[in-house]
Every structure is written in structure tokens, then in C-alpha cells.
Chains A and B, each alone.
Chain A
Amino acid sequence: MNGDTTTNMLLLIIALFALLFLMQELQIYRIITEVENYLGIIRAARERALHAAKEQVRKYSKSLDPEYVSRRIDKLIETRIIAPTSLDPFGIVRKLKHVLSVGERTLESEVASLAPAASPYEVQNLVVLVDIARSLNEVYKLLNHYYLVARRFKSLWLLMQLSAAMPFIIEEVRAVEGAVEAFRRSIPIGDSAGPLVAAFLMRKYGVQYLVEPVKDTIVAKLAYSGKDIYVVKGKGPGGNTGHYDDAVAWVVQRTKPAVIITVDAALRYEGEVSGEVVHGFGVAIGGTGVEKYGIEEIATKHSIPLYAVLIKMTEVEALSAMTEEVYRGVKEGVTVVEELLASLPDGSSAIVVGVGNTVGVPP
């Protein structure tokens, strides 16, 4: 009788341990499949972006062998930009700018040679499509690497980290993917909010003259009565962001502006409303920081106040075709900039920089 209970107890304990072990294995298995599913989504996104880029380039490649074009693009998406060393940080921004502009120029000429029938602005959109495929390729390869390492060492810890980070990465991948359609059709994305504000100002007040002092960047002097207003934006409707620092330097060489206003898309937090317009001080330019640095340098040297007008949106909205909410934000942004300009004393001058990708926004 007594022996029977002991055996039962023992069996129960063994069963309990077996169950614990099983649960652990099950959890690893569950996380592995989860990470695999996420990786599958990212891989599919990469394939779609690559396919779209190839398809679109082939439209303009005339008599070039499609196989050759395809192979060239496969090579292009593997190219890397290597950031300069920060061991000796003096002058690093200048070096970064140099590396980036060489990379940009090379990619553009490569794509142009593959698509001889494309106009300059179509080439820019093709470059962006190739760039999207490149960034998705990079994300996929990095995550796949971590996944394979985690699997090889059966590291639950690494797997958990991966699966915890995945939803955020997927959100970003979706955002980048949303851009493919917009660039294929050459229509404004959420990030085009800044250039669109600039374009609305140019259309509303009329343009006295329009120059392109820096490659892909235009400076327009508005026909604004009593004040010299210069509008800086990327040259549309191709998908580029322009070089605002050099353009601002060009204007500052000619006049001393009372204020530099940067208009840009800003990331909104969960719970905030898309298209909301907020004020700020400083230079609102994201990305590598090269242009932000340049404008801050100029402004500090000449002690020019820096104002920022920010239009809030999510990351997905920033990269996909512009939503109605953001469009309304753009309209409001125009009013806000107009109020700022109206508050300036007569005879003064100002620079308005429309920051962002100017895809689908002429000129």
C-alpha cells in the first residue's frame, strides 16, 4: 500500500520534470517558427522590391540584355557604404559627406547606364527603387545571420531577443515596402510633406527666379512683396532629397536672412494624431546628419535664428504614398510658414527649406 504511493509520487515527479523539459523545448520551437515566419515576410518583401526594381529598370533599358540588367542590379544591391572612422572625429562630417556623395553619384550613373531611355528624374526614381531593394537586402541578411547563429547554438536568449525585435523591424520593412509603389508611380510620399509645403508656397506667391546652384537642389526667390523669401527644396519630381546645406550656403553668400525655417516630416508617437503641425527650434533634418551639421554651422556663424515646422506622421506614413491626414497637415504647414514670414519686418529676408524626398513634387 505504502510502496504504491511512493511509486505514484515518483512517477508524478518524473512526469512533472518531463513536462517542464517539454515546455522549454516547445517554447524554443515556438520562437524558432515565429522568427522563421518573420524572416519569410522580410525575404518576400526583399524579393518583391528587387523584382519591382528590375522590372522598372528594364522598361527603360531598350536593347540591353534583360539577363545582364538583372545581374547588374543583383550586384548593385550588395554594394555597401562604409562610414568613415570616428577614431579622429575632427572633420568626420566632411568625410561622411564625401563618401555619401561618391556612393550616390556612382549608383546614379550605374542605373543611368542600365536605363538609357529614362529621363534624369526617372533615373532618380529608379535609384530609389534599387536603394529600397538594397536596404531590405541588408536587413534580411543581418537578421538571417542572427537567426542562423541562434539556431546553431540553440540559444533561447538570442532567439527571444530576435523575436522581440521582429515586430518593430517588420513595421519598418512594411514602411519601406510602401515606398516601392509610390516611387514606381512617382507620387508624393509622407516624407514629401516638406518639399510639398515649399512647392505650395512657390505656386501661391509666384517665383521671381529659380536657380539650381547645387546638383538636384533648387533655390526659388518668391515674388513676395516687401521681403526676400528664398525657398529651397530638392529638384522634383524625381525621388531625391537635395543638398540643403550647400543651397543655404549659396543663399547666405548673397543675403543675410533674418531666419531659416526648415519644414520637415517628424515621427509621431503612438497616440498622437497624424498631420498635426508643431513648431520647433533648430534644424529639422533627419538622415545622416551631414546637412543638419552644415546648416547649423552656417546659422551659428552668422547668428541666424533657426525655426522648424514639423508635420507629424508614423514611419509607415512617411514612406508610403501620402495620406489625406498628412496632406491636410501640409496645408496647415503652409499657413504656419506664411504666418512666420508675415511676422518678419519689411525689407528682411528669410530662407524656407522644404526638407524631405521630393518624389512626385515638381519642379
Chain B
Amino acid sequence: MSTGSAPHPKRWIPTYIVLLASLLILAAALALQYLRTGSDSYLVSAAFVAVIAVYTAWSFARLITLKVTPRSLMTLLKCPSCGHEVVRRYREGDMLFSELDACPKCGSKMVAEGIFLKEEKH
């Protein structure tokens, strides 16, 4: 099923790249035409396309600087006998306060003390 979250804004990046590239090519072609023919209407069109290209580039820049910090669901496990704590990725079926994995230090069952979204760090 769907993830339930809103679509990621960065999925527009390829569209922006294609749009920006075609605008730049168009502007260059128009400028070239102006240089060849000296006709003012080419210059005006080139300037017009260039303005649109700048606007597109500006929105593109805004999009890629958009900070999206990915968060993933984690389970905090605590050993009731020795107090050792482990944070690992949430697994389907994890339930708060239930006994899950064995403690790596003393081998007794660890208890889920918390389930939360944690910012991913690389």
C-alpha cells in the first residue's frame, strides 16, 4: 500500500532539469539567430526566454536547497537486568513494553522501552 505520506517534492528535479536545458538551448538559438540576422525581434524573444530560464533556475535552486531530513522508525530496547540500551530499526510487529531481542551483554530478554522516529545520520 502507499506510504501514507505526501509525495516527495524532489520528484520534480528531472522535470526541472529538462525544462531548464530546453529553455537555455532555445535562448541560445534565438541569440544566435539575432547575431546572424541582426533582427530585433530575435533579441527580444531571446531576452524573454532568458528571463523565464532565470525564473526556472531560481525555483530549481529553491527546490534543491529544500531541507528534507529523512527520519526512520526506531525501537529502543533496554535490558531490565543490566541496563544495556540498544536502538535498532523498527520491525513490523514490535510492541511497546514487550520482550524482543536477547541482550548482547548478559543474554536476558530486552524490553522495548520506546518506538519513535529518529533523524537519520550518515
Contact A177 B6, beta carbon cutoff 8 Å: yes
For A51, what are the chain B residues with a Cβ–Cβ distance below 8 Å? 1-2
Main secondary structure of the interface of A (DSSP, over half): helix
For B6, what are the chain A residues with a Cβ–Cβ distance below 8 Å? 41, 45, 174, 177
Among A316-351, those with CB < 8 Å from B are: 320-324, 326-327
Binds A, one of B13-21, B46-54, B88-96: B88-96
Contact B116 A327, beta carbon cutoff 8 Å: yes
Docked CA distance A180–B73 (Å)? 15
For B4, what are the chain A residues with a Cβ–Cβ distance below 8 Å? 48-49, 52, 177-178, 180-181, 184
Whether a CB of chain A sits under 8 angstroms from the CB of B38 is no
CB-CB contacts of B33-58 with A at 8 A, as 1s and 0s? 00000000000000000000000000
Contact A322 B116, beta carbon cutoff 8 Å: yes
Contact A188 B115, beta carbon cutoff 8 Å: yes
Contact A360 B1, beta carbon cutoff 8 Å: no
Contact A324 B117, beta carbon cutoff 8 Å: yes
Looking at the assembled complex, report how far the CB atom of B88 sits from the nearest CB atom of chain A, in whole angstroms: 14
Contact A188 B2, beta carbon cutoff 8 Å: no
Contact A321 B3, beta carbon cutoff 8 Å: no
Docked CA distance A362–B95 (Å)? 9
Which residue of chain A lies nearest to B87 when distances are taken between CB atoms in the complex? A324
For B114, what are the chain A residues with a Cβ–Cβ distance below 8 Å? 322, 327
Whether a CB of chain B sits under 8 angstroms from the CB of A203 is yes
For B95, what are the chain A residues with a Cβ–Cβ distance below 8 Å? 186, 237, 360, 362
Contact B1 A326, beta carbon cutoff 8 Å: no
Contact B1 A52, beta carbon cutoff 8 Å: yes
B residues with CB within 8 A of A:
1-6, 71, 73-74, 76, 90, 92, 94-97, 114-119
Which 4 pairs, one residue from A and one from B, show the smallest C-beta to C-beta distance? A327-B116, A180-B4, A181-B4, A322-B116
A residues with CB within 8 A of B:
41, 45, 48-49, 51-52, 55, 174, 177-178, 180-181, 184-188, 199, 203, 237, 320-324, 326-327, 360-362
Task: Report 24 cross-chain contacts, Cβ distance below 8 Å, ordered by A residue.
Answer: A45-B6, A49-B4, A51-B2, A52-B1, A52-B2, A55-B1, A177-B5, A177-B6, A178-B5, A181-B5, A188-B116, A199-B97, A237-B96, A322-B114, A322-B117, A323-B71, A323-B116, A324-B74, A324-B116, A324-B117, A324-B119, A327-B114, A327-B116, A360-B115
